[in-house]
Amino acid sequence: MKKVELITRNLGKQLLEKIESASTICILTSFVMKSGVDFIKEALKRAAERGADIKVCMGDYLYITQPEAIKELLSIDERIQLRLWKSNGVSFHPKAYLFQSDDHEHLFIGSSNLSRSALNSGVEWNVSVSDEKDVFEEAMTEFLHIFLSPQTVPVNNETLAQYIENYESYHQSSPNTAKEWSVVEEQDLMLSIDAEPSLIGLTVHEQGVGYEGEIQPRFAQVEALEELERTMEEDYQKALVVMATGLGKTYLAGFFAKKFNRILFIAHREEILHQAKISFQKIMPERTYGIYNGKQKEAEATTLFASIYTLSLKQHFERFNSDEFDLIIIDEFHHAAADTYQRVLVYFNPAFLLGITATPDRNDNKDVYALCDGNVAFRLDFLQAIERNWLAPFKYYGVYDDTDYSQISWLGNRYDEEELLRAQLREDLASKILKAWEDKRQTRTIGFCSSIKQANYLSNYFNDHGYKTVSLHSQQVGISRATTISKLEEGKLDVIFTVDLFNEGVDIPPVDTLLFVRPTESLNVFTQQIGRGLRLHPEKEYCTIIDLIGNYRNADIKLSLFDTGEKKTNSNFFEPTVPRLCEINLDIKVIDLLKEMVRKRHPRREKLLSDYLTLKSEIGRRPTYLELHLKGGSNSVEYRQEWKSYFGFLSWAEELSTQELEVYHRYEKWFWDVEKTSMTKSYKMVVLLSMLERGLSDWYKGITPSEVAPFFHHYLMEKEYRKQIDFYDKSSRKLWDYNEERVSKLISTMPMSKWTGEMVSFEDGIFRCTFDVLPEDQEIVFNWTKQICEYRLHYHFERKAK
């Protein structure tokens, strides 16, 4: 029975009742107090134990949330998902409690944060909405958008430690909190333009234009499909395709999907789902299609398109059988929380999983590879696509920005927003930006800004100087995104200033100028944004990129994104070799700045450390070597190049305990040996892995080839790709049928007699380590050796497969 009710007291009692019966529990609150956690923790614990899907999102605004409250939430049950909204000075005031069971939906929204007084005795007003399915689903969608926003971080021991440090620092330095932050909550500058109906709209430029009959693969799609065919023949069940923006990833997925019967396409934005559905329908018009968004399930559809925000909820993905889909396609999944995708993928068991992304490697987002077990079937970045004339060339202009970013607080992954705004919203800087744009622009521009306030400020400034511009962002009401884009395409607008709306999923081919007025905090996002200007168009000869460069982080490595790698330089300043018809033009002051930044610090080591700490924060503990490779922000090889081993890096980064540090120095040569011994084939590490299978107290003791042989043969024959890569030459094919004598002979010939280094020997038919392990060191040495071994095996097959 539908019901709307005003609640002015004892909200907590009703929350406890709903927690006891709900299968889905979502809490969104601006702050959390320990008293509030104590009030509901036993009920939450019982709910978690019976399998309820529980998510709690809280904010760090004004650092009111108590560290003790977060610690208490963490202790309830590890199955409860906790995330913290990083407000960065922007007010964060939501208070909502969502409950869903098999038969009912219930929503409470109002003034009550998660504290005992707010739930019990305080003066609070809340509205209760029961069994209004459409309202509830809309609220759930909005909750998930906040919960999975890049502005939230998972709550774990690592992020809790960071929060405690920031909490204590903030309260020591800001005794007049309320007065200081009242300024922050002033209304944003708003751009006055004609009000239009708010629409979700994208410009879709179809692949089939200019073709008759059936749409056929073209450009990079042809090569990518061939590689996907090959990867399936090699018995892989997962693969990743990396294709630059503008090369038709969605159409590629549609062509590949023709081989499968039941297909699930997952994306993080509804616009992408609808766009993908249109593309698939053009390729396979005979199929049936459906959008699953929590409100509807077109169960008979052969191809289903679903938002990860909806599908990640247990009540939704369990509506499907685990083997319901033959093919699952994940689009641009690196924008959502990795554990959200893992939750879905652990449940489903498709015949094949395909990940597609425009994010080039370039040391960013290695979790992309983790999703597909490191199997990159095909990759083509934007530089290679330009060289093949599949994307437009560029002319890059690095314009000097005299903003002193060293005086702006760095918050781990971004600059402090209010401090950055104070530095950016200056008339002299706006004048400089306008002049640079006037000197170098072409016809249609997208301007990428740090914040909504900056976008509004620059749009107003440009308009005051006679240009037609719009500030377009996610918080606007009454402005049609689709209409605004059409006006830019038609030449009725000069510039659209935006924050992050155009990072992916939007196709505006006529755009020929990109204006960057923000520090580059993420090389990945920077690359995505560059892709907005590289699409081919009859009226576009090249794309102009105007980039303000100051002494911000990544300034001295961002130009590496434009390097084709064809030439190396001995200077200490990076000089990229760009594709044919492309140009790099830098102000003299920019060149001097970048040289000085390289001279003053070691940018590579600083970035490697930063990416490691980011990953550690995300997973809540020190990552294993393989996790560093699969999920880290930098290439794992760079750690080995800098410190000889991953554990050498951990020693340098002061990440080892006293005991671990002693172990590292005591067995340092051994760890280096395992890291550097050559591997034309996997055989050495397979032998080592077979030794490790014996356990931590015996693994390093002598072993014979005949003892290794059964494990060795099974490991290489177990997976088709291993057999194809390392067990497919003429002599090895004879061993496909197990023969202990022949396999033993192979092992004794290679690798046992070919292991380089001083730490192993092969004498009298016995292979052994030439060192002993102290009893108190056994566990650490065993675990670290296994980490290196597993990493090297994975890296070997990943590299060979490419």
331-340 pLDDT tens trace: 876 554 566 7
Distance, in Å, from the CA atom of 34 to the CA atom of 37, rounded to the nearest integer, reads 5
CA 384 remoteness from chain centre: 23
Q: Cα 507 to chain center, whole Å? A: 22
The answer to whether residues 28 and 6 touch, using CB atoms and an 8 Å cutoff, is no
d(CA 129, CA 98): 10
Question: Which whole number is the average pLDDT over 699-719?
Answer: 93
Closest-CA residue to 712 (of 767, 763, 759, 658):
767
Task: Report, at the CATH architecture level, how domain 395-600 is classified.
Answer: 3-Layer(aba) Sandwich (3.40)
Q: Given a cut of 70, is residue 196 above it in pLDDT?
A: no
Q: How far is CA 94 from CA 67, 139, 620, in A?
A: 19, 12, 26
DSSP per residue, 638-707:
HHHHHHSSHHHHHHHTT-S-HHHHHHHHHTHHHHHHHHHS--SSSHHHHHHHHHHTT-TTTTTS-B-HHH
Mean pLDDT, rounded, for 421-438? 94
3-class secondary-structure state, position 597? helix
The CATH superfamily holding the domain 220-387 is: P-loop containing nucleotide triphosphate hydrolases (3.40.50.300)
**Nearest of 495, 524, 513 to residue 397 by alpha carbon:** 513
Please tell me the predicted confidence (pLDDT) of residue 584: 94
Average pLDDT over residues 138-160: 90
> Which tens digit of pLDDT belongs to each residue from 595-604?
887 776 566 7
Structure tokens of 301? 């559809």
pLDDT of residue 757: 67
pLDDT the model gives residue 209: 37
Q: Is residue 575 predicted with pLDDT exceeding 90?
A: no
Nearest to 224 by CA among 208, 242, 236, 209: 242
Assigned token pair, 25:
């529990």
Helices 778-801 and 683-692: crossing angle in degrees, nearest 10, is: 150
**Which residues lie across from 255 on neighbouring strands?**
none
Q: Which of 785, 579, 615, 759 is nearest to 698 (CA)?
A: 785
Cα dist. 86→63, 96, 364, 791 in Å? 10, 18, 21, 33
Whether the CB-CB separation of 327 and 350 falls below 8 Å is answered with yes
Best CA proximity match to 292, nearest among 313, 272, 273: 273
From the number of C-beta atoms within 10 Å of its C-beta (0-12, 13-18, 19+), residue 432 rates as middle
Domain coordinates in residue numbering, the chain: 3-182, 220-387, 395-600, 677-801
* Distance, CA of 577 to CA of 350 (rounded, Å): 42
Mean pLDDT of 722-729: 84
Residues forming a β-bridge with 242: 357, 379
* Per-residue pLDDT tens digits for 513-538: 999 998 887 777 888 889 889 999 99
How many CB atoms sit inside 10 A of residue 638's CB?
17
Share of the chain above pLDDT 90, in %: 53
Q: Which amino acid type is present at position 313? A: L
What pLDDT does 211 receive?
A: 35
Identity of the highest mean pLDDT range in 477-491, 745-759, 786-800: 786-800
Strand-strand pairing, 263-267 and 303-307: parallel
Q: How many CB atoms lie within 10 A of CB 295?
A: 12
Model confidence at 193: pLDDT above 70: no
Cα 699 to Cα 677, 759, 773, 794: the distances in Å are 19, 14, 10, 21
Strand pairing category for 81-85 and 53-59: parallel
pLDDT tens digits, one per residue of 201-240: 344 444 543 334 568 898 899 999 999 998 888 788 888 8
> Which pTM value belongs to this model?
0.68
Burial classification of residue 784, based on how many CB atoms lie within 10 Å of its CB (0-12 exposed, 13-18 middle, 19 or more buried): buried
Which residues contact residue 241 at a Cβ distance below 8 angstroms, ignoring those fewer than 6 apart?
224, 227, 228, 249, 252, 354, 355, 356, 357, 376, 377, 378, 379
- Give pLDDT, residue 89: 63
Q: Give the pLDDT band (50/70/90) at residue 45.
A: very high
Q: Distance (Å, rounded) from C-alpha 183 to C-alpha 179? A: 8
Domain 220-387 and domain 395-600, same fold? Reply is yes
Kind and range of the H or E element at 278?
helix 270-283
CATH fold of 3-182, please? Endonuclease; Chain A (3.30.870)
**For residue 623, is pLDDT > 60?**
yes
Higher pLDDT, 673 or 555: 673
Separation of alpha carbons 648 and 627, rounded Å: 16
DSSP letter for each residue of 456-491 = HHHHHHHHHTT--EEEE-TT-SS--HHHHHHHHHTT
Q: How far is it, in rounded angstroms, from Cα 117 to Cα 424?
A: 41
Q: Are the C-beta atoms of residues 119 and 37 closer than 8 Å to each other?
A: no
Instruction: Report the pLDDT averaged over residues 775-784.
Output: 96
The answer to whether 517 touches 548, Cβ cutoff 8 Å, is yes
Return the percent helix, strand and coil in the chain, to nearest 5.
45, 15, 40
Judged by average pLDDT, the poorest of 39-43, 70-74, 333-337, 663-667 is 333-337
For residue 289, the cross-strand partners are 303
pLDDT of 512 reads: 97
Q: Is 591 helix (H, G, I), strand (E, B) or coil?
A: helix
Could you tell me which of 788, 778, 770, 790 has the C-alpha nearest to residue 645? 788
Rounded Cα gap, residues 728 and 117, in angstroms: 70
* Alpha carbons within 13 A on the beta-carbon side of 198: 7
